[in-house]
Amino acid sequence: MSDQNPVFIPGPTNIPETIRKACDIPTMDHRSAAFPPIYDKARAGVARVLNMGVGGEVVLFPATGTGGWEAAVTNTLAPGDKVLAARHGMFSQKWIDLCQRHGLDVQVVEAPWGAGVPVDAFAQALAADTGHAIKAVLVTHNETATGVTSDVGAVRAALDGAGHPALLMVDGVSSIASIPFEMAAWGVDVAVSGSQKGFMLPPGLAIVGLSAKALAAMQDAGLPRCFFDIRDMLSGIYPYTPPVALINGLAASTDMLLAEGMAAVAARHNRIAEGVRRAVAAWGLSPCAQSPELYSDTVTAIVVPEGVDGNALVAHAASAYGVAFGAGLGAVAGKVFRIGHLGMMTDVMALAGIATAEMAMADFGMDVTPGSGVAAAQAWYRETRAG
């Protein structure tokens, strides 16, 4: 029965029944007339979720977010090109690593794990780059390892302030479809996501939005690519076998999101996340994120006291209660545990996660009063409930 428990990992996320059923369809000849309407609907839905504006394109690869990173850089950059990126968590680190393995020259700005993208350092680097050697600026919108959301609009302002033409590429894998994402307003050139987080689908799709400027950069991009060649994707015919069932699910997912309304989706995530944060405060613990404006509404990384192994705590919650929380990754392995609260999430589900975390922490002898976090979250959810 415990496999029916909701998960509190920050991806893959819980799947609503309507979306799960939309992923269960009979075999379809993807070269028949049945496929294009599904494909077009999913892509149009994603464009709206991204607030993409005009002139852009959405492409869907059978891959994951990592494939989306690879598609982003290989379709727009040439070997040796300089890119600017911050390292402040596991996911920003992995994207840097991917760029380096592709022979890009990454100008890395180091920042503490728990900090946001260092916009001032970016602004300085861009202002100093008068020759415009930097071809792209990479931003991890929501660092899933630390529960930190960075200010993409401020990075756009830094680019504009320096009059710098670099492409702005954003990893929105754990932000898009959950918290506000304004592709057009922020001047994002490449937005990367995956199916298994805010879109509430099984893993298996890399979801990439490209601006007109990114599409233009595609023509001189010298990095090799084949499977991820966006020129093939946009040739009018899907270049290989599309994951039809997932794309049908994506059409259902975007329908569901847009019916709720993206502003309401964001408000729901903010409200649920605030309940989790109030629970954390009631436990006498702190988020890994350094300051409140960085707090992520999709995942909270909670610092455990010295002497407690956060990863052992996560393993215990899984074996004792059948509930999955996120372990600490990289530099914060063992030092934090993470509660994912994105995608399909309700007050009731969040309360179950908070209650389970309390049981696990009590089992570990932590000085946390069982019920204290639940009570704090209950009070917040009652105070701010819709009905």
Ligand X SMILES: *Cc1c(COP(=O)(O)O)cnc(C)c1O
Q: Which residues pair with 288 in a beta bridge?
A: none
**194 near ligand X, judged by CB under 6 A:** yes
Lay out the site mask for ligand X across 4-43 (x = CB under 6 A, - = otherwise).
-------x--------------------------------
**300 near ligand X, judged by CB under 6 A:** no
Closest contact distance (angstroms) between CB of 184 and ligand X is 21
Nearest CB to ligand X, comparing residues 39 and 61: 61
Residue pair 119/155 in contact (Cβ under 8 Å)? The answer is yes
Nearest CB to ligand X, comparing residues 142 and 254: 142
Q: Is 297 helix (H, G, I), strand (E, B) or coil?
A: coil
Lay out the site mask for ligand X across 332-361 (x = CB under 6 A, - = otherwise).
------------------------------
Residue pair 380/278 in contact (Cβ under 8 Å)? The answer is yes
Closest contact distance (angstroms) between CB of 165 and ligand X is 25
| Contact residue for ligand X among 20, 35, 44, 66 (CB under 6 A) | 66
Amino acid at 39: Y
Nearest CB to ligand X, comparing residues 194 and 275: 194
| Contact residue for ligand X among 93, 150, 174, 254 (CB under 6 A) | 174
Residue pair 328/301 in contact (Cβ under 8 Å)? The answer is yes
**93 near ligand X, judged by CB under 6 A:** no
Spatial neighbors of 107 by CB under 8 A, at least 6 apart, are 82, 83, 84, 85, 125, 134
Closest contact distance (angstroms) between CB of 94 and ligand X is 7
Count interface residues toward ligand X (CB under 6 A).
12
Select from 62-70, 180-188, 216-224, 258-266 the region that touches ligand X (CB under 6 A): 62-70
Residue pair 343/198 in contact (Cβ under 8 Å)? The answer is yes
- How many Å apart are CA 160 and CA 254, to the nearest integer? 32
Residues numbered 105 to 164 that lie near ligand X (CB under 6 A) are 140, 142, 144
Q: Which residue has the tokens 């914060």?
A: 332
Q: Is 246 helix (H, G, I), strand (E, B) or coil?
A: helix
Q: Is 8 helix (H, G, I), strand (E, B) or coil?
A: strand
**380 near ligand X, judged by CB under 6 A:** no
Q: What angle do CA 324, 317, 147 make, to 5 degrees?
A: 55
| Contact residue for ligand X among 8, 61, 91, 122 (CB under 6 A) | 91
**171 near ligand X, judged by CB under 6 A:** yes
DSSP one-letter string for 22-70: HT------TTSTTHHHHHHHHHHHHHHHHT--SS-EEEEEES-HHHHHH
Closest contact distance (angstroms) between CB of 31 and ligand X is 28
Nearest CB to ligand X, comparing residues 8 and 381: 8
Spatial neighbors of 18 by CB under 8 A, at least 6 apart, are 252, 256
Select from 34-42, 64-72, 148-156, 300-308 the region that touches ligand X (CB under 6 A): 64-72
**228 near ligand X, judged by CB under 6 A:** no
Closest contact distance (angstroms) between CB of 379 and ligand X is 30
Instruction: Look up residue 127 and give its two tokens.
Output: 């202002």
**65 near ligand X, judged by CB under 6 A:** yes
Q: Which residues pair with 59 in a beta bridge?
A: 208
Nearest CB to ligand X, comparing residues 171 and 189: 171
Select from 23-31, 166-174, 288-296, 363-371 the region that touches ligand X (CB under 6 A): 166-174
Spatial neighbors of 224 by CB under 8 A, at least 6 apart, are 74
**328 near ligand X, judged by CB under 6 A:** no
**70 near ligand X, judged by CB under 6 A:** no
Nearest CB to ligand X, comparing residues 11 and 275: 11
Q: Is 299 helix (H, G, I), strand (E, B) or coil?
A: strand
Residue pair 104/80 in contact (Cβ under 8 Å)? The answer is yes
Instruction: Look up residue 283 and give its two tokens.
Output: 């436990």
How many residues are recorded in the chain?
Answer: 387
Nearest CB to ligand X, comparing residues 51 and 66: 66
- Is there a binding annotation on residue 385? no
Q: Which residue has the tokens 């840097």?
A: 96
**74 near ligand X, judged by CB under 6 A:** no
Write out the binding residues for substrate.
338
Please report, as ranges, the residues that interact with ligand X according to CB under 6 A.
11, 64-66, 91, 140, 142, 144, 171, 173-174, 194
